[in-house]
Structures are given as C-alpha cells and as structure tokens.
Amino acid sequence: MKNNATKLMVRLQIALLLLIGLLMTPTWLQAQEFTVSVEIPDIKAAPYHKPYVAIWIETPQRQGVHTLAFWRQQADWFKDLRQWWRKIGRSGSPDYQAVSGATRKPGVYSIHWDGRLGTGSMLPAGDYVLHVESVREQGSREYLRQTFSYPSNKQEQLVLEGKQELGTVTLLIK
Amino acid sequence: MSVNVKLISRAVVVIASVFAVFTSTAHERFILPSHTLLSGEAPQSITVLASISNDIFHPDRPLGDSGSGRDVGELKEYFANLEYTVIAPDGKVSLDTQWAAYSRMSVADVTLAHEGTYRVGLVQPDVFMTTFVNAEGQPARLWGPSPEIPAGATKVVRRTTASRVETFVTLNSATHQAIAPTGTGVEIVSKTTHPNDLFANETAQFQLLFNGKPLTTNTKVKLIKAGTRHRNDRDEQILDVTKNGDISFTPSQAGFYLLIAETHVDAPDAADIDVKHFSLYLTLEVFPE
C-alpha cells in the first residue's frame, strides 16, 4: 500500500516536470512560419492553358506531410502533377482540400503557412523537402525541390529558379 | 500447275508463321494500354491494344478476339482458347472483356468503374506442341495433344506452352488486391514497388512467382524498352533473379517497358508431356521524374 503511494508520487513528479518542460520550450521553436513565393511565368503560347500547380512538403523518405497549395481544374488531370499525385493526391493523405483552388494566371503568388498540419498539430522538428510541381496542358512540366530543416534557429531564405514552367520560387522560414 | 505451286508455297508460309507464334522462344507479345494512371471522380475507360510482335509495342499480328473482329484464319482457334481477364480492385475476375482483332493488332475497351488498381490480361492455358528432328534431319513441330509423329523422327520432345500477357492500370488510389497472385503461371508480386508507381531513376523491386511460389531457378528475365523499331540496338536487359525470386531494375528513362519472364518444368515421368513452358509478358509504364 505504501509502495503504491510512493509510485504515484513519483509519477506525479514526472508529469509535473514534463509539464514545466513543455511550458519552458522556447517560443521561437513553435512560432516559425513559412512563406513560399511562386512565380508562374508569362508564357507566350496559343492556346495558353493556366498550369496545374502543387506545392507541398515531404519527409526525406518521401512521405507526404502537408500540401501548401493545389491549383487545379478538372480531376481527370490531377494525375499529371505526377509527383504530387503519387505521394499525396491519389490517396488524399494528408488531406489537401483546404488548400485546393482554381488555376491561376501568370504572376507571383505568396503562400503563408503557420506550420499547422491538417491534423491540427504542428509540424514536428526535422528535415523536410519542399516540392513545387507545375504542369500545363499543351505545355511542359516542371518539378523543383528544396530541402530544409525545421525549426531553423534563424530566419532562412531559400531560392529556386525554374527553367520553363516555373519562375523564381522562394521559401522563407522565420 | 504454277497456281498450285503458288498455293502450296503460300500454305507453307502461313503454317510456318503459325508455328512461329506458338513456340516457347518465338515472337514476343504484349498489351499496350492507352493509360496506366488515371484520376477523376467518375468511372473511366481505357483502350488496350494487344499484338504478337517482335517490335516492342509496335503491333505486327493481332492477339485476341471475342468474335467481333476480322477473320484471323488459323489464329481463330488459338484466340478462342485465350482467357480475356480483367481483375478488379476488389479481386473479382471478369472474363467478358470484348476484344476485336484487326489486321495488325487487337483492341478492347476496359472500363474502370471503381477506384484502385486493375489487372488486364490475356491468359493462354497450356497449348500442346511436339518438337522433333525429322528423317531428313530438319527441326519440325506438330500441334495438338497427340500428334502423329512421322517415322524416322528423333529428339521428340512433347511440350506445353502457357503464358500471361498482362498490364496494370490504376484509377486514383494504387491498391494491391488485383496484383495478388492467382497461383497460376508466372506472375509478379509487388513488394516495395507498386507497378503503377514507376519513375525514371528509381529502383523498382518485384518478386517473381511460379504457381504461387517464388520463381528462383530455370528462369530468364529480360526487360526491353519500347521502340525497338526506332533504334539499332535492341538493348535487352537481362535481370538477375535472387534466390527468393526477387528482381529489381532502375530505368534511366521514362517510357513503356516489356518485362518478359520465362520458365519451364519437367513433367512427371508418367505424364504425356516431357516439359511445360510458362511465360509472363508484363507491360510497365515508367514516368519522368
């Protein structure tokens, strides 16, 4: 009986320590946010169809983590965003409905993400890969990747240059 | 007289070409699907082409007919014995796909009514063939289960050949039930790689099965990229088979590939047959990274 009471005390102390540890976690660890800027180049083509674009994050082991943007028209052509389709799209996991929207005309677009996953929890610390894929009907396809670590202990800006179907892509973590 | 000679020589050509179709080391054959990967909310159809041809994915002769195509002459009986199978994502086997033969190819529509991976195939059950060397010393063959072997024939080998000509097609989610082995003939099992998730410069890994068990011996596995007609080097890649029946390859280029796996087994002593041949002709599509 006394033994059990001691065990309970130890457990409570551990729980309290864990709680304090959580509360004392530096706020910058949780507060880093992402801004991805994507340029859809102005391509002179007739007919010109606006590209399907997906921007998402995977683990280095190629597990889909989160989709930041998915600009599309008809579901029949989702498969042409080949890499996004195989890793996220066709299984709907993780869910991307909230970030799905119509295709966009040429221009520079900023996507802001607070690091919160579709499950409601925050992106766990670790290494990740940002993927940007663009495909245009009667046009070409482009696929860019950039590895990054999260959280970063400083503000970080990573820049990718597309060659054809994507212009400059910037990942800002701060 | 000259007409008769012409007729006879023509008959010889026809017979020779039929022989060539059925030999275990004969012409390649394949299914070429219009699509292997589809997305969308509604059911979709694809069109598949099948042919007996040594030019990979360029058709040469038809392969398959359900009665609505052209007169295929001596191939009719062979086509009547083929099983026109489609295995749905839930594992259900359908045999009612309607193939139509044309001069150089056969075609069929396959409707993907449900999400998941379908397996489309032409399954050839055992075809009997006896090879021998005739009295004049020339190699010869005869068809049927009990052929009349001419006097003086030597090296008589009684054989059967069976094959699966297959491909996989996926609507939305890539599933595994249709890939599960049927336990008949040479098949692949998807281990780490789904056959509708192949990309250039990524290693694909499959396991070969024969009658449901790992195929490890007496086997030859080769991989040929599409378009042999448009290049000088045929470039057949021979794949190693591990002692577990595993094969792997890393395609450097996107495109359609034909994977061919063959094996043979000696029939039991008491059987009417000496050796049984089995082969798989599997079409795979590889996408660019």
Beta-sheet pairing, B275-287 with B154-171: parallel
> Is A143 in contact with B287 (Cβ distance < 8 A)?
no
CA B12, CA A72: separation in Å to the nearest integer? 59
Beta-carbon neighbour count of residue B193 at 10 Å? Answer: 18
Q: Which of B39, B44, B287 sits opposite A78 (nearest CB)?
A: B39
Q: Which residues of B touch A141 (CB under 8 A)?
A: 288
What chain A residue is nearest to B36 in terms of C-alpha separation? A79
**pLDDT tens sequence across B39-50:** 999 999 999 999
Q: Which residues of B touch A (CB under 8 A)?
A: 37-41, 44, 170, 172-174, 197, 199, 287-289
> Tokens in use for B191?
């281990």
Alpha-carbon B206 to chain mean position: 18
pLDDT higher than threshold 50 for residue A145: yes
**pLDDT tens sequence across A154-170:** 899 999 999 999 999 99
CA B55, CA B166: separation in Å to the nearest integer? 17
* Cβ burial B42-76 (10 Å sphere, 16+ → b, else e): eebebebbbbbbebbbbbbbbbbbbeebeebeebe
Q: Is the peptide bond before A51 cis (omega within 30 degrees of 0)?
A: no
Q: Which residues of A touch B174 (CB under 8 A)?
A: 86, 90
**pLDDT tens sequence across A103-140:** 999 999 999 999 999 999 999 999 999 999 999 999 99
> Tokens in use for B126?
């055992």
Alpha-carbon A168 to chain mean position: 17
- From first to last of the 289 residues of chain B, give the pLDDT tens digit: 444 444 444 444 444 444 443 444 568 999 999 999 999 999 999 999 999 999 999 999 999 999 999 999 989 999 999 999 999 999 999 999 999 999 999 999 999 999 999 999 999 999 999 999 999 999 999 988 889 999 999 999 999 999 999 999 999 999 999 999 999 999 999 989 999 999 999 999 999 999 999 999 899 999 999 999 999 999 999 999 999 999 999 999 999 999 999 999 998 877 789 999 999 999 999 999 9
What phi-psi label fits residue B262: left (phi over 0), alpha (psi between -120 and 50 degrees) or beta? beta
Q: Torsion angle, CA of A41/A47/A50/A51, rounded to 10 degrees?
A: -80
Q: Helix, strand, or coil here: B243?
A: coil
> Is B289 in contact with A83 (Cβ distance < 8 A)?
yes
ipTM (interface predicted TM): 0.83
Phi, psi of A146 (to 5 degrees): -150, 120
> Tokens in use for B198?
């192949």
CA B285, CA B234: separation in Å to the nearest integer? 18
Strand ranges inside B41-153, DSSP E: 44-52, 61-62, 83-87, 93-94, 99-101, 106-112, 116-133, 139-143
Only one residue has tokens 């399907």, namely A52
Side-by-side strand order, sheet with A168-173: A107-113, A34-40, A168-173, A156-161
Non-local CB neighbours of B134 within 8 Å, separated by 6+ positions: B140, B150, B152, B153
Give the DSSP H or E segment for A4: helix A2-24
CA B24, CA B41: separation in Å to the nearest integer? 43
Query: How open is the CA angle B85-B90-B91, to the nearest 5 degrees?
Result: 40
> Is B39 in contact with A75 (Cβ distance < 8 A)?
yes
Q: Are B208 and B219 in contact (CB under 8 A)?
A: yes
CA B92, CA B96: separation in Å to the nearest integer? 12
Distance from CA of B172 to the nearest CA of A (A): 5
Phi, psi of A113 (to 5 degrees): -140, 130
pTM, 2 dp: 0.86
> Is B289 in contact with A143 (Cβ distance < 8 A)?
yes
At residue B259, the pLDDT reads: 98
* Alpha carbons within 13 A on the beta-carbon side of A93: 5
At residue B269, the pLDDT reads: 74
